[in-house]
Amino acid sequence: LNKEAIKMAQQHLDMLTKPQGSLGVLEDIVKQLAGITGNPMPKLEKKVVIIMAGDHGVVEEGISAFPQEVTPQMVLNFLAGGAAINVLSRHAGAEIVCCDIGIAVDVEHHDLIVRKVRRSTNNMTKGPAMSRSEAIKAIEVGIEVAEEQIAKGASILATGDMGIGNTTPSSAILKVFTGCPIEKAVGRGTGLNDNGLARKAMVINRAIEINNPDPEDPIDVLSKVGGLEIAGLAGVILGGAAHKIPVVIDGFISTAAAMIAGKIEPKAINYMIASHVSEEPGHKLMLETLELYPMLHMKMRLGEGTGAALALHIIDAATHVQSEMATFESAGVATAKQ
């Protein structure tokens, strides 16, 4: 990060008509954006939500409340503009792009970015979800999609996911990296009952036991107990960071991708802006591990980038504070007493 730009941003913030530091996270965001972009008065010209969609062989084990066919159906819903992420992105003034990185079936739509690495992952309770080279290829797809959007003018990216069953690999990633007990890592996803939750915990334990992923090797973790959209989102984050573009991290699945990206390149964490803390119980632990601070507590558990889209408005607000507020001098306001 550009330390000189952060210092200049701080100096300007301290001239504005408010007690120093009193805008809290808004000021932190301004400084982070200044450090990322090198501009002490950062602007977000174009906001893009990148949704990565993929399927999971592990759904065979009955770990999701929804059937796998919902993945392509929801992707078509994104492309038709009817999903929650469409509504929230429009409201935030953001564009959406959606990439098929591993849906089990073929989806045809002129706006869909098709970069299928493979059709769904394998059932990770019976062996690796994918090969090491497939995991690397999926990360590269994410980097490329991010670079395409940056080339088209994106000044901030937000991550979104679609993939029935994808809280299961996300919980597995969390457990492998932190060694936390399974109860801390697993949640109800889109709406499992108590039996479903117990089954899901067993499935995750079995997948980790059978594959024995190496927590020091993020590609190993990703290929054995991860997912294609998780790999793609890790690539989006790495691609954004490499081009000095901030990346807003959505919920549980996106933060699993952020953990992978942060293990591959710890400096990438400086480019991440957390959005919300979700209802998945493991999400808070993921954010703490990455030392990211979620500004929104919305009790959401939808994914798609919905929490990140809500945060985009707030991040935008932070940049407006820096560029539009009056200074103590210009407004003729007295400063704090000694």
Active site residues: 304
The CA distance from 92 to 72, in Å, is: 25
Under the binding rule (CB under 8 A), the answer on residue 298 touching a copy of itself is: yes
Under the binding rule (CB under 8 A), the answer on residue 14 touching a copy of itself is: no
DSSP labels for 141-204? Answer: HHHHHHHHHHHTT-SEEEEEEE-TTTHHHHHHHHHHHH---HHHH---TTT--HHHHHHHHHHH
- The interaxial angle of helices 132-151 and 228-242, nearest 10 deg, is 50
- Identify the CA nearest to 258 among candidates 231, 277, 281: 231
Of 28 and 265, nearer to a copy of itself (C-beta) is 28
* Beta pairing, strands 47-54 & 94-102: parallel
Of 73 and 205, nearer to a copy of itself (C-beta) is 73
Under the binding rule (CB under 8 A), the answer on residue 76 touching a copy of itself is: yes
- Please identify which residue in 4, 11, 69, 114 interacts with a copy of itself, judged by CB under 8 A: 69
**If you ran DSSP here, which 8-state letter would residue 267 be given?**
G
- Please identify which residue in 36, 83, 203, 285 interacts with a copy of itself, judged by CB under 8 A: 83
Question: Cα 196 to chain center, whole Å?
Answer: 26
The CA distance from 60 to 58, in Å, is: 5
Q: Binders of a copy of itself among 166-195, rule CB under 8 A? A: 190-191
- Please identify which residue in 141, 295, 308, 315 interacts with a copy of itself, judged by CB under 8 A: 295
Of 24 and 181, nearer to a copy of itself (C-beta) is 24
Under the binding rule (CB under 8 A), the answer on residue 198 touching a copy of itself is: no
Positions in the binding site for a copy of itself (CB under 8 A): 16-26, 28, 65-67, 69-70, 73-74, 76-77, 80, 82-84, 86-88, 90-91, 190-191, 279, 294-302, 306, 310, 313-314, 316-317, 320-321, 324-326, 330-337
